Structure 1
Amino acid sequence: MIRINDRLSLDEREIEESFIRASGPGGQNVNKVSTAVQLRFNVRASPSLPESVRARLERLAGNRLTNDGVLVITAQRHRSQDRNRQDALAGLVELIRQAAVPPVPRRKTRPTLASRLRRLEAKTHRAGIKKTRTRRPEPE
């Protein structure tokens, strides 16, 4: 079990890992060894996630989420496969931790009297500037 927070943990069997060749510089080693990790986690089919966390995770994932609801995280920063695995797993855990925290509801506030007066004063000032730009026809 992968522990996310006090109330949430993931079963390791829900995560699929595949190893691919990393792109970018690195000499011959890059061409020979599959060190990059592609981690796949099916968000929609996961029994470990509550519905609210699942919905927030889908929003947070952005274009890392496929049409089928599979979250794909690719890690290729490090030279070793094991470090990339840890990096990808840490990215998944961090994303789920963010989704597990419900957003703080917005409280409506009214603008203060001073801020309303400042706004009106700025509008009047701006209108005065624009008024000086108008051309009056010259008398003949």
Structure 2
Amino acid sequence: MISITSALSIPDNEINFITSRSSGPGGQHVNKTSSKVTLVFNLEKSTALSFHQKYLIRGKLANRINSKGELHLSCEEHRSQFRNKEEVVERFRKLLLDGLKPPKVRRKTKVPYSTKVKRINGKKKRANVKKNRSRPDY
């Protein structure tokens, strides 16, 4: 059971771990052991998340979710499989936590008068520069 918030936990049966040989540190050890850990979470089939939560996560993590609705995270930083598994679970927890934050509501603001004046003055200055480059009328 992975605890995301106090009210939300993802059961272990919804998460799959795939191990493989990594390219990380470890020398010959890395060539013999499967220390890379990949976490696979199927967002679409999850029963722990509500429809609204899935919608939020799908929107924020769209580039990380494949066409089957699976989220893949992998870690091969450490020499041991155990530490890589802990690392990938922590990343997963943070990703879901960030994905569940509601988007900030944009408040409309008025463009300040001074900014409008600066813009107009800049345009006038630029027009004068271009005008002075032209051939004088005699």
Same fold by TM-score, threshold 0.5 exceeded?
yes
**Cα gap change, 1:126/1:138 in structure 2, threshold over 3 Å: closer, same or farther?**
closer
CA shift at 1:25, angstroms? 5.2
Query: Could you say which residue in structure 2 is the equivalent of 1:105?
Result: 105
- Identity score, percent: 36
**Cα gap change, 1:8/1:24 in structure 2, threshold over 3 Å: closer, same or farther?**
closer
Q: Give me the whole-angstrom Cα distance separating, in 2, the residues matched to 1:112 and 1:21.
A: 58
Q: Give me the whole-angstrom Cα distance separating, in 2, the residues matched to 1:35 and 1:66.
A: 24
Query: Could you say which residue in structure 2 is the equivalent of 1:44?
Result: 44
CA deviations 1:73-132 (Å, max 9, x no partner) are 010011110110011111110010001110111011110111111111111112222223
Q: Give me the whole-angstrom Cα distance separating, in 2, the residues matched to 1:11 and 1:25.
A: 31
Query: Could you say which residue in structure 2 is the equivalent of 1:16?
Result: 16
Q: Give me the whole-angstrom Cα distance separating, in 2, the residues matched to 1:106 and 1:57.
A: 20
- Aligned residue pairs total 138
CA shift at 1:24, angstroms? 4.6
Structure 2: which amino acid aligns with 1:48?
A
Query: Could you say which residue in structure 2 is the equivalent of 1:87?
Result: 87
SS of corresponding position for 2:98 = helix
Over the aligned positions, Cα root-mean-square deviation in angstroms equals 1.9
Name the TM-score, length of structure 1 as normaliser.
0.88
Q: Gaps spanning 5+ residues in structure 1: where?
A: none
SS of corresponding position for 1:132 = helix
Structure 2: which amino acid aligns with 1:89?
V
CA shift at 1:12, angstroms? 1.3
CA shift at 1:70, angstroms? 0.3
**Cα gap change, 1:26/1:62 in structure 2, threshold over 3 Å: closer, same or farther?**
farther
Query: Could you say which residue in structure 2 is the equivalent of 1:130?
Result: 130
Q: Give me the whole-angstrom Cα distance separating, in 2, the residues matched to 1:131 and 1:50.
A: 63
Q: Give me the whole-angstrom Cα distance separating, in 1, the residues matched to 2:36 and 2:121.
A: 59
Query: Could you say which residue in structure 1 is the equivalent of 2:118?
Result: 118
SS of corresponding position for 1:68 = coil
Q: Gaps spanning 5+ residues in structure 2: where?
A: none
Contact 1:40 1:71 in 2 (8 A): yes
Moved over 3 A (4+): none
Q: Give me the whole-angstrom Cα distance separating, in 2, the residues matched to 1:60 and 1:87.
A: 21
